A = this chain, B = another copy of it.
Amino acid sequence: MSAASTVSAATGEITYLEAIREALFEEMARDPNVFCLGEDIGAFGGAFKVTEGLLARFGEQRVIDSPISEIALVGAAAGAAHMGMRPVVEMQFIDFLANAYDMLTNYVATARYRAFLPCPMVVRGPSGGYVRGGPFHSQNPEAGFLHTPGLKIVYPATAADAKGLMKAAIRDDDCVLFFEHKYLYRRVKDVMPDGDHVVPLGKARVAREGSDVSIVTYASTVWKSLEAAEQLAAEGISVEVLDLRTLAPMDDEAIFRTVKKTNRLLVVHEDTRTGGIAGEITARVSETCFEWLDAPVLRVTAADIPLPYAPPLEDYVLPQTSDIVRAVRRLAAY
């Protein structure tokens, strides 16, 4: 797969972005039913170059440049998926999932249940903020889909997970929304595990062990939580960080395990607060671990604001490491 990535000679590491590309290469090579479609993904290799090289390797039939038509992209993927194909749709920015909301939530999500139709497809794209992208190129719309039975949702934090989860998503027999954090694209790296590296959907990962306070989080804020944990360790507070990796289905067991271990839970996400996924996690924990909780479940999230563009505003609205530190301190002192 040397075409897919530029492995650092020194470390053997590749970026999160290259890891996704590698997964696409490997899965397309493995299974002729896998194909990609999206805007500018062919000759141009995609707005972020995730699909670079795919066209040259697999040809126009399997790497399809589409019109600007998110409804059609998702709908066509569903139709092809019914017939045994495994389409991977790129949204140029994940924000444009909104344009296909009906097709995803009404058609795709219900296909198996109402019509016994398989709909194995992946809808992937660059997500998230911290990049001065403004209100329409920085969104985290996962909560708007968590609500819909029939969809799976993946949002990796590390390069190794990005690859392994993408491979699992492509092989999954249902529709997987695959969120790729654009701030992480070129900023985090891993050495890829050897062989056919598949990370199963629905399994969280303990990103750091700890004993005083648990943080449950995913994507960009995994890194901020780890940073906070490092700072807090110096103060003598031991933080466990759980990276959910898959949001639907959610790894309840892993969440409950860490809560029962530390008895204190902070949920952190980059997305806005009201109606965000932290609420769902809080409810599950409250229902199941009430006896174990020594403090309220708290949330560190973005403020309920359309994400503004100017750096001081974006930084103010999005959760920062110092927020996590402050929230954990409060929990630890509770």
Interface residues of A (CB under 8 A from B): 95-96, 98-99, 101-102, 105-106, 109-110, 113-114, 135-136, 141, 143-144, 146-150, 248, 250, 271-272, 274-283, 286-288, 290, 293, 295-299, 304-306, 308
> Quick check: A305 and B101 within 8 Å, CB to CB?
no
B102, B298, B299, B305: which contacts A149 (Cβ < 8 A)?
Answer: B305
B144, B250, B279: which contacts A282 (Cβ < 8 A)?
Answer: B279
Chain B: CB-nearest residue to A105: B98
Bound CA span A134–B317, Å: 40
Bound CA span A209–B279, Å: 27
Chain B: CB-nearest residue to A289: B296
Closest 3 interchain pairs by CB?
A147-B275, A101-B101, A290-B296
> Quick check: B149 and A306 within 8 Å, CB to CB?
yes
> Quick check: B113 and A305 within 8 Å, CB to CB?
yes
Collect the chain B residues with CB atoms within 8 Å of residue A146's CB.
Answer: 274-275
Collect the chain B residues with CB atoms within 8 Å of residue A281's CB.
Answer: 279
Bound CA span A275–B149, Å: 10
> Quick check: A109 and B274 within 8 Å, CB to CB?
no
A251 CB, nearest partner CB in chain B, Å: 13
